[in-house]
Amino acid sequence: LYAQAMQLLYKNERYWLNDENEEVLRKNNTEFEQISPLEQLFKCHFSSATIEKKAEWLTAMEIFNYLQKHTREKLSINKINWFGRILRKLDIPQKASSKGTLYHVVKLE
């Protein structure tokens, strides 16, 4: 097996995943992903903006502060960068501004 691997390397065979392979792998793994408590909390209080709903452009920190005010749990400020990644993963519409990245969300009543 080692000799076969070395021979393929010498022939410059591709041994890494390309973008297409990574996308297939990502799609296959989504059913096994665990939803973080912070993501669940976001989904309880916000949804992604749609045309027919009244929406706001908020920074991740503004959303985070809103969640902190409306929950009994003390949310760690250290998780704000991770929270931004969660918002991108959820495909929340976003735009750049002088305040930073703004996310287009609807507060659920």
In terms of pLDDT, which residue wins out, 58 or 77?
A: 58
pLDDT of 40-51, one tens digit each?
889 999 988 876
pLDDT tens-digit series, residues 20-31? 999 999 889 988
The verdict on pTM exceeding 0.95 is: no
pLDDT digits (tens, 9 = 90+) for 86-107: 888 888 998 999 988 999 999 8
What is the phi-psi region of residue 15: left when phi exceeds 0, alpha when psi lies from -120 to 50, beta otherwise?
Answer: alpha
- Which residue segments constitute the domains of the chain, with CATH numbers given? 35-107 (1.10.10)
Position 78 pLDDT exceeds 90 = no
Query: Is 75 within 8 Å of 82 (Cβ atoms)?
Result: no
DSSP, collapsed to helix, strand or coil, labels residue 101 as strand
pLDDT value at position 52?
A: 62
